Amino acid sequence: MNLGLNGRVVLLTGGSSGIGASLAQAYGDEGARVAMTYRTDRVGAERVARRVENAGGEGMIVPFDLASDRGADILVETVCDHWGGIDVLVANAVQWPDRSPAAGFEALGQGAWEVGLRANVEGSFRILQAVIPSMRDREWGRILFLSTGLAEEGMRGAETYTCAKAALVGLVRSLAWDVGRDGILINILAAGLTLTEANRERIPETVRSAMAARTPLERLSYPEELAGPALFLTSAMNSSITGEVIREGSSTGRSSHAQ
């Protein structure tokens, strides 16, 4: 099936590892030109860029901090200068909460709350404002935010993170009405717990097993399994789905760790 991504310019934030790395390689398989961002792991990003090129695409890496006031503008200018514009935005970068679930909600300081929301909500606002003009000029664009089923299920210790992800729903559903007439579609892909290397290390096996048992598939997802829906939603094959939250297999149902 020809997804129409060959030669398209894809801006993928948070592409140095995990889900982002799997998505980058999938776009490379389609012959896309993929600009991947990293915040600290330049070596990982360079490794992923090589995988993109080995798969048949073109790759470049750009440093990017979601919390930076000017970072989004600089990022988009860099990609547009290099490749002439942006067709697809996959917003995968996120700032994770730093509060231990063992500490009560009262332990969450206002400063940490504000930093988390500003990075994840205002950071999304900034990247959208920077990239949409390029898509309007081309009269074509696809935008996909990576989100989480935890925005609905909840999880102890993740109030800032889940609040920010829930806010994306209202943003995306309203923005779809603004950009649709210009050929731009925008959606959210809400994933369940995904078996990235980082999650394997930081989440105990007992917790992972309990979460898997509460999913329809009775297992957790692998990063590469997100590539199919992500590619479709951001391709020419998707001509009308917009303003939607697409729930990936293991993101449904309430997880035992949320209690």
- Name the amino acid, one letter, at 98: D
> CA-to-CA distance for 165 and 145, rounded, in angstroms?
9
Coil, helix or strand for 6? coil
- Residue whose structure tokens are 């760790």: 257
The domain 9-250 having CATH identifier 1.10.1280.10: the answer here is no
Coil, helix or strand for 203? coil
Q: Is the dihedral of CA 115, 127, 244, 177 positive or negative?
A: positive
Torsion-angle region of 66 (φ positive above 0: left; ψ -120 to 50: alpha; else: beta): alpha
Residues lower than pLDDT 70 in the chain = 1, 97-101, 193-203, 249-259
Torsion-angle region of 226 (φ positive above 0: left; ψ -120 to 50: alpha; else: beta): alpha
Helix, strand, coil % in the chain, rounded to nearest 5: 50, 15, 35
Edge-first strand order for the sheet with 9-13 is 58-63, 33-38, 9-13, 88-91, 141-148, 184-191, 245-247
- Residue 247 near residue 190, CB atoms below 8 Å: yes
* Amino acid 98: pLDDT: 62
Helical H runs in the chain?
18-29, 42-54, 71-83, 110-117, 123-138, 150-153, 159-179, 197-202, 205-213, 227-233
Of 63, 22, 47, the C-alpha closest to 196 is 22
Q: Which residues contact 201 (CB under 8 A, 6 or more apart)?
A: none
Give strand pairing partners of 9.
33
* Amino acid 158: pLDDT: 78
What b/e string do you get for 140-163 counting C-beta neighbours within 10 Å, with b at 16 or more?
bbbbbbbbbbbbbbbbebbbbbbb
- Residue whose structure tokens are 């935010």: 145
> CA-to-CA distance for 194 and 149, rounded, in angstroms?
11
Using CB atoms within 10 Å of the CB of residue 93, give its burial: 0 to 12 exposed, 13 to 18 middle, 19+ buried: buried
* Amino acid 177: pLDDT: 98
Q: Is the dihedral of CA 36, 41, 46, 51 positive or negative?
A: negative
